[in-house]
């Protein structure tokens, strides 16, 4: 059976997180496996007003959560209390294993139900102070894109919806499928949850307007022996300035980001091809099977062979 994703919408719904999630979990043509079923529900079915000034018609109510594998909460008004019936339906679903993904203000629902107590949660910078006061047992983090605890995941900003949804695809069906969907959507290279919601403002020295062209170039040239010097030269910066700017923009070092991309590339090759581990190591720039196995085990706590048996 397909994995059932249900998006909970509410009055004055912002459409961006809803349409972004449907783009990831929806139909991608006959050449990409269709693992998900995406639908909407509302506490009170019927016309739901959106921030665009138009209504969307939602036919299903909270009873839909009884069959949901993932609940996507695409926003919530912080002044509206979660009703006992809706709260009970969400807690019952969570207890049986339903995954919860809260986008931006959607965090108020799992927070009010105690599902984030004692945990770190990604929050929008405008909501961090209120979250800290209303829910003192939660550790709000306004710097990262998303935080995924497995059963509950939070994303600080609506623009992070695609990142969080692709992260779920990768967790459940492998890196290759997530990369194929991302390419079809022309999404930027995958962003880890630890990357920053917004870049630091530069204080000195010239910096490029965006790292996106560089990240695309790195991804297209993983088989090359790339170095910090290569990346800095392509950006027109000194190594020191480039490393500082890269880390300020993404929250991780250039070397770590490059290694993450190489591991992601190796996962895709293991899932979709019969290439030897030695050949895969060369194609993703890790030089040898020994080197690939070491980094793969450090990143995923498994071997390339075991990973291939699970996802091939």
Digit-coded pLDDT (tens) for 162-185:
989 999 998 899 888 888 898 888
Residues 174 and 257 in one domain: no
Query: Do both 164 and 305 map to the same domain?
Result: no
Claim to verify: residue 155 and residue 265 sit in the same structural domain = no
Confidence of residue 207 (pLDDT cuts 50, 70, 90): very low
Same-domain status, 127 and 209: no
- What's the distance, CA 312 to chain centroid? 23
Where a domain ends, among 180, 213, 246? Answer: 180
Q: Looking at the domain assignment, is residue 187 inside a domain?
A: no
For residue 190, tell me if it sits in a domain. Answer: no
What letter does residue 67 receive in the DSSP assignment? G
Please tell me the predicted confidence (pLDDT) of residue 197. 52
Neighbouring C-alpha atoms within 13 Å toward the C-beta of 7: 27
Bigger pLDDT: 245 vs 187 = 245
Q: How confident is the model at residue 216 (pLDDT cuts 50, 70, 90)?
A: confident
Residue 148 lies in a domain: yes
Cβ count near 229 (within 10 Å): 11
211 and 170 within one domain: no
212 and 116 inside one domain: no
What per-residue confidence (pLDDT) applies to 94? 97
Alpha carbon separation from 263 to 120, 191, 267 (Å, rounded): 26, 14, 6
For 255-307, write each residue's pLDDT tens digit.
988 998 898 889 889 988 999 999 999 999 998 999 999 998 888 888 999 88
| Residues 66-113: tens digit of each pLDDT | 999 999 999 898 888 999 999 999 999 999 999 999 999 999 999 999
311 in any annotated domain: yes
Asked if 26 and 20 count as a contact pair (C-beta separation under 8 A), the reply is no
Domain boundary (150, 180, 210) is at 180
* pLDDT computed for residue 69 by the predictor: 97
Strands 3-9 and 70-73 turn out to be parallel
In a domain, 189, yes or no: no
Residue 288 lies inside a defined structural domain of this protein? yes
* CA neighbor of 118 nearest in space, from 140, 144, 88, 146: 140
Report field, pTM of the whole predicted structure over 0.95: no
Residues 211, 169 share a domain? no
Instruction: Enumerate residues 6+ apart whose C-beta is below 8 A from 142.
Output: 122, 123, 124, 125, 128, 156, 197
Mean pLDDT calculated for residue range 46-58: 94
Give residue 87's domain range: 3-180
Q: Are residues 8 and 93 in the same domain?
A: yes
* 235 within some domain: yes
CATH number of the domain enclosing 12: 3.40.50.880
> What total number of domains does the chain contain?
2
Q: What is the pLDDT of residue 292?
A: 93
For 26-41, write each residue's pLDDT tens digit: 999 888 989 999 999 9
Report yes or no: 204 and 247 within 8 Å, Cβ to Cβ: no
Q: Please tell me whether residues 120 and 227 are part of one structural domain.
A: no
């Amino acid at each position: 059976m397909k994995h059932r994703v249900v998006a909970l919408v509410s009055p004055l719904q912002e459409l961006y997180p809803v349409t972004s999630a449907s783009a990831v979990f929806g139909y991608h043509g006959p050449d990409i496996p269709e693992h998900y079923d995406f639908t909407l529900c509302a506490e009170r079915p019927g016309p739901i007003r959106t921030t665009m000034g138009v209504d969307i018609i939602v036919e299903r109510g909270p009873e839909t959560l009884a069959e949901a594998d993932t609940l996507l909460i695409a926003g919530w008004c912080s002044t509206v209390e979660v009703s006992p019936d809706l709260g009970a339906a969400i807690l019952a679903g969570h207890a049986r294993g339903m995954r919860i993904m809260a986008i931006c203000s959607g965090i108020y629902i799992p927070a009010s139900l105690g599902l984030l107590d004692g945990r770190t949660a990604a929050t929008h910078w405008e909501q961090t102070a209120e979250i800290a006061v209303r829910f003192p047992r939660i550790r709000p983090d306004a710097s990262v894109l998303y935080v995924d605890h497995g059963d509950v995941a939070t994303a600080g900003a609506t623009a992070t919806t695609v990142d969080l949804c692709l992260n779920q695809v990768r967790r459940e069906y492998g890196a290759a499928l997530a990369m194929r969907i991302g390419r079809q959507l022309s999404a930027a290279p995958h962003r880890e949850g630890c990357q920053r919601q917004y870049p630091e403002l530069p204080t000195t020295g010239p910096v490029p307007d965006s790292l996106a062209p560089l990240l695309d170039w790195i991804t297209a040239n993983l088989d090359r022996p790339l170095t910090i010097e290569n990346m800095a030269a392509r950006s027109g910066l000194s190594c020191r300035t480039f490393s500082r700017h890269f880390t300020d923009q993404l929250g991780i070092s250039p070397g770590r980001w490059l290694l993450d991309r190489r591991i992601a590339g190796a996962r895709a090759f293991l899932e979709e091809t019969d290439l030897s581990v030695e050949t895969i190591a060369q194609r993703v720039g890790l030089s040898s099977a020994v080197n690939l196995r070491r980094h793969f085990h450090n990143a995923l706590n498994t071997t390339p062979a075991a990973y291939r048996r699970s996802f091939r």
